[in-house]
Amino acid sequence: MSYHDRGNIIFCDVPGIGETQSRDEDYIPLYQSLFTECDLIIWVIKSDDRAYAEIQKTLREVNSETPLMFALSNADKIAPTKGWNWETMQPSLEQETNLKLKEHEVSKELKISTNNIVAFACDDENENRNYNLKVLLEKIMLLLPNKTKASFYKATSEEAKSEESKRTTQKGTLDYIFENLGKIVAPFVPLVSKLVVEVLTEKDSLKKIFDTGLEFFKKFSK
């Protein structure tokens, strides 16, 4: 298991299942403890992998409520492999069809929405050349809690960003701010109420309200 600290974000890479039964038995408790601490679980499986039994078993035993998505790696390995265009990093029409079928297969076998599944590929020799990396980020941004969207987006490489993921980040962040506005303002309500009562009992109250409000915001903006 390895941790990758990116400032406000921690990526946790855990060992995969299916090597041996004894190791799987050790990994399940690890998954159970970690998954509860995560904001999002990204389960990576190869696009040409059809072994679902161990994943099904693990999901049943872990039974986590943390948002989950499946990233299907090595999209270029989907049949027919000769159809992949390495110059444009795009699948052939037949491969594209088979990738869609693969997503529906994973959805059915693992009981997860196709909205939470995306196939992608990367060029090992040039990390800037990829297929569907922007789509992968868009789906991640949709699934992440609003409170973590901005931090994750900021830590992401520019090559993976899109207008869609940017909009999702902005909306989610604003929603989080407004949802928690009460918690932010609440500590100051008694002080503001007291000031208003004092001001309204004096002459020239409108001018006093303005002056007091100005001083109040100056005080808390420092």
**Once rounded to an integer, what is the mean pLDDT over residues 1-18?**
69
Q: Is the pLDDT of residue 19 over 60?
A: yes
The CATH-assigned architecture of domain 2-131 is: 3-Layer(aba) Sandwich (3.40)
**Once rounded to an integer, what is the mean pLDDT over residues 37-63?**
93
Place of tokens 């004096």: 202
pLDDT at 14: 86
Which segments of the chain belong to CATH 3.40.50.300? 2-131
Cα–Cα distance measured from residue 118 to residue 114, given in angstroms and rounded to the nearest whole number: 8
Q: Does residue 143 contact residue 69 with C-beta atoms inside 8 Å? A: yes
Q: What is the pTM of this model?
A: 0.77
* Selection from 34-48, 106-120, 194-208 with the highest mean pLDDT: 106-120
